[in-house]
Amino acid sequence: MLFLAIILIEIMLGTPFDTFRKSHIQQHGPSTLGSFFSDYETAITLLGRLETKGGPNYKRAVERCIRNKPEPPPMPNMNGDEFKRLVYGHVVAPLEDDLKQYTLPKLL
């Protein structure tokens, strides 16, 4: 899910994630837990930029991808219908709502 968040960040900010990754490493030093955690930290720091660029649901959808917390009971099987339903409901549907706001013709 982190990689989906990274793609959504790149799309909205119009900049490759590597640019932000390098900047984050320069400011905070390399992650001692590996590049995954460095990417996670970089993505968290970029959430604030999405508030001003995206629609009302965009930041929330990206945040849900980054902070993908399992719901009790344990996380559903990633290949199962329950996981797909969760991703659609928490990420895809809110992004579709934003898209509809910007693409539907305004009626006078």
Q: Where are the domains of the chain?
A: 2-103
Helix or strand holding residue 22 (H, E): helix 17-28
The alpha carbon of 14 is separated from its chain's Cα centroid by a whole number of angstroms, namely 14
Q: Per mean pLDDT, which range of 19-28, 46-55, 92-101 is the poorest?
A: 19-28
d(CA 11, CA 56): 16
What angle separates helix 2-13 from helix 17-28, to the nearest 10 degrees? 100
pTM, to two decimals? 0.63
For the stretch 9-32, pLDDT in tens is 999 999 888 888 766 666 655 555
Q: What is the mean pLDDT of the chain?
A: 77
Predicted pLDDT at 73: 45
